Each structure stands twice: as C-alpha cells, then as structure tokens.
A and B are shown apart, each in its own frame.
Chain A
C-alpha cells in the first residue's frame, strides 16, 4: 500500500511570495489533515477535510492560507503572501474512516518551507 505523498519536499521562498503544497492521501482514506510543525513544537492542525468538505479550519490563518480538496482525493495548501513566521514543516496526514476516533493517522514526509 502506497503511503501519503507530498511535494515538494523542500521549498525556499522570499517573504511576500506565494507557495503551494500538494498532498495525495492513501487511496480510500476519507479524512485528510494539514498540519504546521514549527521547529521544536508539536504539529498544529490547520485544516481537516472529510471527503471534500471542511470539518475544522479554526486554526487556519485565512487571510493568507487556503486549502482545497477537490473531488475528495488529493489536496493543495497555499500561502499567499508568505511571512517569515510561516517557516515550518507542513505535514499532510490521512485517516481511513470518517467516523470514530480510534483510527490512526498516516503521515506524509512533510514539506520543509523556509521563508527568507
């Protein structure tokens, strides 16, 4: 079974530029998550999708961040314009079932973003 795929793995941009990250979850996984992990901290949930609908985006800075999951499969996360504090690893994860809290998340390798 293929894992969660993310691209690119690394990205360096200047502040005020825009950037997009892509995630392809495990086939058949209905729930998809985007996290931001700043160095030395735990992952912070940015947005959670269930199929192609948003379940939670309370911690997504909506003035600059946007995410979509068209057709309920792969997803993109965009930052426009980027700030220095957006430097972090962006993790994508997927989960098999939409209901029930006991199903584990499977994580991708992450995209390391550096904003200069």
Chain B
C-alpha cells in the first residue's frame, strides 16, 4: 500500500530566503509524485509532477523538486521565498494498485512567509 509523509506541519521562512518542504513516500511500484498548492479560499493547483523522466522537476513560480529513489523522498524547494508563496502545500503519491491509479495526499505543510 502506498503512503506519503510530509515531515513538517508548518514551515516559517523570511521573504527572500530558501524554502524546503519535505515529503517522503512509500510505494510498491514506480510512483507518480505531485506537489499541489492551496491558497486560502482557493482551489488546489498543481505545482509540479514527477513521472519517471528527469529526477529534478521544475514547476511553476520558481519551485522545483528532486526525486530520490534511494531515500524515497520528493522534497520541494525554492531558492527565494516570496510573500505570495504563503499557502498550504500537499505532496501526493499515485501508484497503480489493483490496476488503477489511486492518489494519496499527505497531511499538508503550511508555509508561512515573514516580511
């Protein structure tokens, strides 16, 4: 069975400093991995996805993530935080179980950006 663990419930950074949101997964097969962002009172939006091509994935708004199979991790990073990055971030694993791809969400990491 697949699972995903977001190691931090809250991450607080200052504007202009790097962002690191951690995600570890468990999967029996070769998973697809996603990061979604949810701004307050807004819908979920895809940031980036890993689909067994390049292990370093670039997404929107300057975010990127690196797939490390040996560490079963898919951490999300950004070199310089912006105030508009303050939101909830979800790591998602989607694995083929029973012939169908079933997504599992992490509990979320709240990113707080201080001026």
Contacts and interface: CB of A to CB of B under 8 A. Distances in A.
A42 B103 contact: no
Interface in A29-48: 33, 35, 40-45, 48
Contacts, number: 58
Interface string A81-109: 00000000001010000011110110111
Contact of A110 (B34, B43, B90, B104): B43
B46 A43 contact: no
24 contacts: A33-B103, A40-B108, A41-B107, A41-B108, A42-B105, A42-B108, A43-B90, A43-B105, A44-B105, A45-B102, A45-B104, A48-B100, A55-B100, A55-B102, A56-B98, A101-B101, A105-B44, A105-B46, A105-B103, A107-B45, A108-B43, A109-B42, A109-B43, A110-B43
